[in-house]
Amino acid sequence: GEDVEQSLFLSVREGDSSVINCTYTDSSSTYLYWYKQEPGAGLQLLTYIFSNMDMKQDQRLTVLLNKKDKHLSLRIADTQTGDSAIYFCAESIRVNTGFQKLVFGTGTRLLVSP
Amino acid sequence: DAGVIQSPRHEVTEMGQEVTLRCKPISGHDYLFWYRQTMMRGLELLIYFNNNVPIDDSGMPEDRFSAKMPNASFSTLKIQPSEPRDSAVYFCASSLGTYTEAFFGQGTRLTVV
C-alpha cells in the first residue's frame, strides 16, 4: 500500500515544542521527507532523513525515524508563530518502472498561538 | 532561476469546458510532477515525467485528464470536459532526480462551477 498517515491538526503555544507524527507503509523507502506548506503557496522541503539513520538534527528541527514501526516524527523546538503551516510527511517508493516516486501524507495543520 | 512557474494562478470555468494548466519547470531538472490537492484526498500524484517522457500516470483519475511535456521547459495538464469534482489546487513540481528535493510551483486553483 501507499498510505502515509498523519494527524490532521496540532495546536501549540509560542515557545513550546511541537511534535508532528507520521506513519508510512513502504519498508523499502530510501528517503523520508518533511515538507512545509504556507497558505496560498506550494510545498517547500524542510528536511529529510536517509533510511539508515535514526535521527537528524537541523537547527530547531529534529527528525526521528523508527524503521521497525515505520514511524517518523518532526520536532520543532521553540515554536514560533511563523511556523504555523501545514506539514507533510513523504516517503519515496519504487514503482514498477524502477523509478521512485514521492507519496505524501495527508498533512498536519500546525497552529501556533502567541 | 525563478523557480517552477505555473499559470494561471486561478481558473474559474463552467462544467463541460476544457481547462489547460501550464507549467514551466526549473531549467535542468529532469523530472516533472503534477499533483492535485483537495481537502478530502490530500495531495495526490497524478503523473510524472522523466526527460519529457511520462513514467507513471496511474494517478490520473480518468480519461478526461491528459498531460503532455513537448519539451524540457513546458508541460500542460488538460481536463476535457471539466466537472465540478475536479475543483482543486493543482501543483506542478520539478526535481533533478527522484531522490532529490522536489521544488513546487505556487499552484493553480481550479474552480469548476
Query: Contacts of residue A30 in chain B, CB cutoff 8 Å?
Result: 99
Query: Contacts of residue A104 in chain B, CB cutoff 8 Å?
Result: 35, 42-43, 45
Where in A5-114 does DSSP place strands (E)? Answer: 5-6, 9-13, 18-23, 31-37, 43-50, 55-58, 61-66, 71-76, 85-94, 100-104, 108-113
- Residue B100 in this model has a pLDDT that exceeds 80: no
Query: Contacts of residue A31 in chain B, CB cutoff 8 Å?
Result: 99
Q: What's the mean pLDDT in B30-45?
A: 91
Residue A54, number of CB atoms within 10 A of its CB: 10
Q: Are A44 and A54 in contact (CB under 8 A)?
A: no
What is the C-alpha separation between B46 and A33, in angstroms, rounded? Answer: 19
Q: Of B96, B99, B93, which Cα lies nearest the Cα of B75?
A: B93
Q: What's the mean pLDDT in B20-38?
A: 95
Q: Are B74 and B82 in contact (CB under 8 A)?
A: no
- Residue B82 in this model has a pLDDT that exceeds 60: yes
Tell me if B4 and A40 make a contact (CB, 8 A cut-off). Answer: no
Respond yes or no on whether the N-terminal peptide bond of residue B8 is cis (omega within 30° of 0). yes
What is the C-alpha separation between B76 and A20, in angstroms, rounded? Answer: 35
What is the C-alpha separation between A82 and B48, in angstroms, rounded? Answer: 32
> Considering CB atoms only, which of A100, A102, A107 is closest to B42?
A107
Q: What's the mean pLDDT in A2-29?
A: 90
* Confidence (pLDDT) at A56: 94
pLDDT in tens, A30-89: 889 999 999 888 899 999 999 889 999 999 999 999 999 999 999 999 999 999 999 999
- Residue A96 in this model has a pLDDT that exceeds 70: no
- Residue B80 in this model has a pLDDT that exceeds 90: yes
* Nine cell digits for residue B23: 507549467
Gyration radius (Cα) of chain A, Å: 14
End-to-end CA distance of chain B: 35
Tell me if A105 and B42 make a contact (CB, 8 A cut-off). Answer: yes
- Residue A1 in this model has a pLDDT that exceeds 60: no
| Chain A touched by B43 (CB under 8 Å) | yes
pLDDT in tens, B86-99: 999 999 999 987 67
What is the C-alpha separation between B67 and B45, in angstroms, rounded? Answer: 13
- Residue A95 in this model has a pLDDT that exceeds 60: yes
* Confidence (pLDDT) at A41: 86
Q: What's the mean pLDDT in B54-78?
A: 94
- Residue B50 in this model has a pLDDT that exceeds 60: yes
Burial (0-12, 13-18, 19+ Cβ within 10 Å), A9: exposed
Q: How far does B53 lie from chain A, in Å, by closest CA?
A: 12
Query: Contacts of residue B42 in chain A, CB cutoff 8 Å?
Result: 104-107
Q: Are A88 and A105 in contact (CB under 8 A)?
A: yes
Mutate to test the interface with A, among B56, B90, B98, B108 (most CBs of A within 10 A): B98
What percent of chain B clears pLDDT 90, i.e. is strictly above it?
81
What is the C-alpha separation between A85 and B87, in angstroms, rounded? Answer: 22
